[in-house]
Structures are given as C-alpha cells and as structure tokens.
Amino acid sequence: MVGPNRPQIVLFGSSIVQFSYSHEGWGSILTDLYSCKADIVLRGYGGWNTRLALQVLDQIFPKDAAVQPSLVIVYFGGNDSMKPDPNGLNAHVPLLEYIQNMKNIVLHLKSLSEKTRILVLSTPPVNEEQIIKLFGSSRRSNERSHIYSEACIKMCKELGIKVIDLWTALQNRDDWLTAHFTDGVHLTAEASKVVVKEILNVVKEADWEPNLHWKSLPNEFAQYSPTIFVGPNSNTPVNVTDLDWQAQWI
C-alpha cells in the first residue's frame, strides 16, 4: 500500500460509475479536486444490477479490512429499472427486490465502521429517443427510471442515509435531453458537472466529523509546499497548496 494513509472515497456502482472517468466525467473531477487530500477508488461495473452487487459486496468491502472507506458513493438502479425481457436475459430487477437489495448494500456499508459515510445516487433520467436511434430499441423508459428513483430516495430517507435525486437534478435545463447524455443513458461532461455539484453540496452541508468536503480536508505535506509570489508586483507570498486551482467548485 502506498502511504501515508489518506481518507478513502469509493465510487461503487454500474456503468454510470465505471464510465465516470470518460468524457470529463464526475469521477475524474472528484479525483482532481481531492488530489493531495483523499484517494478516490473506482469500483464500477457496466451492466450490473443490485443482484450482482450483493454477490461481491463482501469482497469489495470486507468487514475485516485494516482501513475502511471514509465515504462510499453508491449508484445502482438504471439497469434494475429496465423493462423485463421476455427471456429473462436482461438486468431487470423487480422494484421491491431492488429496494431490499439497496437496503442490504447500505446496511453492509454502514457496518464497516462508525466513520464510514454513505451517499446514494438515485436512478437518473434517460433519453428514450436517443437510445432507440442508437440501438434500434429500448427496454428503458424515463417513467420507470422515475419510479425506481423515488423508491430509492424513500428508502434512504427512512434509513437516514444521504441521497441525491439525480432524476430531478439532471433535468435542470430545457435542453437536458440533448445536453446530458452521450447515448441516452450515460453522462456527458455537462451532466457530470451537475453530479459533482450535487455531491459537493451534500458533503459540504453534512454534519459529518470530519467534514469530507474537499476544501475542508488538509493538503498532504502542505508544510513542505513551496511559496510563490503573486500580485501586480509579484510581492505577495502564497503557499502553492493555498492557491484556488478549482475556484468553481468551492
């Protein structure tokens, strides 16, 4: 293991997580923001549903691990919410089973340590027309996505778990259907900015100790960081670690 130990933030989910480093994705933005502060760990699996996630949950998040994550951001639901295939070959999971599976995932994560925090992303909307245009057909619908999103939000609130309503957040502009999807399902850079903004808002406002917002975490080895001189006359000393490289995300 590479030291020293930093807070660990795990992104766990299906392709919305796996592809979060593509197209200037939300995972890459978070990794940039938390550089020198925390390690972002990607555990994303395209095409997966909550049934598959439960099968490997103990392997990804063993309870006896020496170091447990400080925050786990969880996303499953888009594949679960698909219309069932007549041959039973797709990733559809019935709503009640999906909610129970999500509950089991969240309860397992809560049991890892008293300091492990959880943030759930609900099922986002889809662009059905774009999916059909690219793939010829679709077993996804915005209506089904909304049903699974609402059920996930309700479950999280009952358990006292932080949750982001992605279904609503990603419809925040008139042209969301064309602006937010690369293929009708997966997220563009513009959509990822929305996801990051929502995540940072929740993390900043959460009454967690320590606060896990990127600006609240100390920079690693800040005492060794050099000083540069800025200002009109280049006479204002500033430690490099204090520069606001990412002012848009403060």
Q: How far is CA 178 from CA 123, 127, 129, 227, in A?
A: 18, 8, 10, 45
Cα–Cα nearest to 198, from 29, 62, 3: 29
Q: Which residues are catalytic?
A: 14, 183, 186
Which string of b and e fits 184-216 if b means at least 16 CB within 10 Å?
bbbbbbbbbbbbbbbbbebbeeeeeeeebbbee
Contact of 237 with 227, CB cutoff 8 Å: yes
Cα 239 to Cα 110: distance, rounded to the nearest angstrom: 38
Contact of 97 with 49, CB cutoff 8 Å: no
Cα 222 to Cα 148: distance, rounded to the nearest angstrom: 44
Cα 37 to Cα 7: distance, rounded to the nearest angstrom: 7
Cα 21 to Cα 36: distance, rounded to the nearest angstrom: 18
Cα 146 to Cα 182: distance, rounded to the nearest angstrom: 20
